């Protein structure tokens, strides 16, 4: 085939049917789509209440947690209950889709039979995979190391849930009611433990840590890992502690003793 032969013919007759076909199609599409657009505007969920980021966050601080597994009782769920109450996470009785920001995991060593129990939540990684994969930057790490989700720019793609090695994130599957003003959530967005950032900014401890100290085994210690004079920094310097899946090199801010 030569170049000339490849050229399209110009002798095709004008097709009057095309114009009427296009007009008809456009009208049909308009009629079909208009109710959908209207319904969508009715059905769209309300946005979560906006909340300004605290300007006091400083990179000189790294908030973290040290959890002594020996002091964590298998039957105790106080940290989980405190989190649910504090952040308004009441579920709908559907465990597969109800969110969990913190959960108790029971461990058993199959070789020795030793059993342990420990709380697992967002580990607030130094190199968080959820932040790396988020297409819009809604997953972000605050200067003080707290990993959060911006509820205004999360599009609900769930890539961060797939990327998190700790299964720490939940997708909001249902319409929300009675939200806490300090812990805004959003249907169709992803969420996880905020380390009770609203409390931290108010110079208080996370709810789980407070509950563990008040009614639990006192297994959880919260503080600034960067401050050598803090209790948590002294303890991690003095005693052996470990991070979950340390092999991944993410440097989580949550550490465990006696694991």
Partner 1 sequence: MKRTIYSEIDGKSGRFYLLAAVLAALTLSGFVAALYMEHYGHYITGMNNQIVWGLPHVFAIFLIVAASGALNVASIGTVFGKRIYKPLGRFSGLLALALLLGGLTVLVLDLGRPDRLIVAMTTYNFTSIFAWNIYLYVGFIGVVAVYLWMQMERRMNRYARAAGMLAFLWRLVLTTGTGSIFGFLVAREAYDSAIMAPLFIAMSFSFGLAIYVLVLLAACHGSGREIGDAVLRRLGRLLGVFVAVVLYFTAVQHLTNLYAAEHLGVERFILLDGGIFTVLFWGVQVTVGGLLPLLLLFRSPPVNSVVSARGLVIACLAIVAGGFAQVYVIVIGGQAWPLNLFPDREVSSSFYDGVISNYSPSLPELGLGLGGVALTGLIVLFGIRILRFLPTTLADSAIDPNFVSSADKS
Site for partner 1 in 129-148 (CB under 8 A): 129, 131-137
Among residues 154, 200, 236, 253, the one that binds partner 1 under rule CB under 8 A: 154
> Near partner 1 by CB under 8 A, which window of 141-149, 173-181, 207-215, 227-235?
173-181
Q: Residue 39: how many CB atoms within 10 A of its CB?
A: 10
> Near partner 1 by CB under 8 A, which window of 141-149, 167-175, 200-208, 224-232?
167-175
C-beta separation of 103 from 180 below 8 A: no
**Contact mark string toward partner 1, 196..235, x via CB under 8 A:** ----------------------------------------
Interface with partner 1, residue 166, by CB under 8 A: yes
The whole-angstrom separation of Cα 148 and Cα 145 is 9
Q: Report in angstroms how near the CB of residue 231 gets to partner 1 at its nearest.
A: 27
Among residues 81, 153, 226, 230, the one that binds partner 1 under rule CB under 8 A: 153
Distance of CA 226 to the CA centre of its chain: 24
* Contacts of partner 1 in 59-98 (CB under 8 A): 92, 94-98
The whole-angstrom separation of Cα 166 and Cα 71 is 22
**By CB neighbour count within 10 A (0-12 exposed, 13-18 middle, 19+ buried), where does 88 fall?**
middle
* Contacts of partner 1 in 9-28 (CB under 8 A): 9-10, 12, 15, 17-18, 21-22, 25, 28
Q: How many residues does the chain have?
A: 259
Strands 115-121 and 139-141: unpaired
Interface with partner 1, residue 110, by CB under 8 A: yes
Instruction: Number of residues interacting with partner 1: please give it, by CB under 8 A.
Output: 78
User: Which segments within the chain are labelled E, that is strand?
Assistant: 63-68, 102-108, 115-121, 139-141, 147-149, 170-171, 190-191, 220-224, 254-257
Interface with partner 1, residue 171, by CB under 8 A: yes
Looking at the Cβ atoms of 57 and 163, the one nearer to partner 1 is 163
> Near partner 1 by CB under 8 A, which window of 1-9, 61-69, 200-208, 217-225?
1-9
* Contacts of partner 1 in 31-60 (CB under 8 A): 32, 36, 39-40, 43-45
> Near partner 1 by CB under 8 A, which window of 61-69, 149-157, 197-205, 231-239?
149-157
Among residues 72, 84, 99, 220, the one that binds partner 1 under rule CB under 8 A: 99
Q: Residue 171: how many CB atoms within 10 A of its CB?
A: 17
- Token pair of 215 as six digits: 């009614």
DSSP 98: S
C-beta separation of 141 from 123 below 8 A: no
Q: Report in angstroms how near the CB of residue 259 gets to partner 1 at its nearest.
A: 8
Looking at the Cβ atoms of 70 and 162, the one nearer to partner 1 is 162
C-beta separation of 198 from 68 below 8 A: no
C-beta separation of 175 from 186 below 8 A: no
């Amino acid at each position: 085939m030569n170049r000339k032969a490849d050229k399209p013919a110009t002798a095709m007759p004008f097709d009057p049917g095309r114009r009427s076909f296009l007009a008809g199609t456009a009208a049909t599409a308009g009629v079909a789509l208009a109710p959908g657009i209207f319904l969508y505007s009715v059905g769209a969920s309300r946005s979560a209440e906006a909340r300004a980021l605290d300007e006091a966050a400083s990179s000189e601080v790294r908030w973290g947690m040290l959890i002594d597994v020996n002091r964590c009782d298998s039957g105790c769920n106080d940290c989980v209950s405190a989190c649910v109450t504090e952040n308004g996470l009441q579920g709908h009785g559907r465990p597969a889709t109800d969110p969990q920001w913190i959960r108790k995991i029971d461990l058993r060593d199959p070789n020795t039979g030793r059993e342990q129990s420990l709380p697992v939540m967002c580990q607030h990684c130094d190199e968080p995979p959820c932040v790396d994969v988020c297409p819009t930057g809604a997953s972000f790490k605050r200067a003080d190391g707290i990993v959060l989700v911006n509820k205004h720019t999360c599009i609900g793609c769930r890539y961060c849930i797939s990327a998190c090695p700790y299964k720490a994130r939940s997708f909001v599957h249902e319409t929300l009611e009675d939200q806490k003003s300090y812990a805004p959530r959003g249907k169709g967005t992803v969420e996880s433990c905020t380390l009770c950032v609203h409390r931290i900014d108010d110079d208080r401890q996370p709810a789980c840590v407070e509950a563990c100290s008040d009614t639990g085994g006192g297994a959880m210690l919260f503080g600034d890992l960067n401050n050598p004079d803090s209790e948590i920094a002294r303890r991690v310097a003095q005693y052996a502690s470990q991070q979950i899946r340390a092999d991944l090199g993410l440097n989580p801010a949550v550490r465990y003793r006696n694991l």
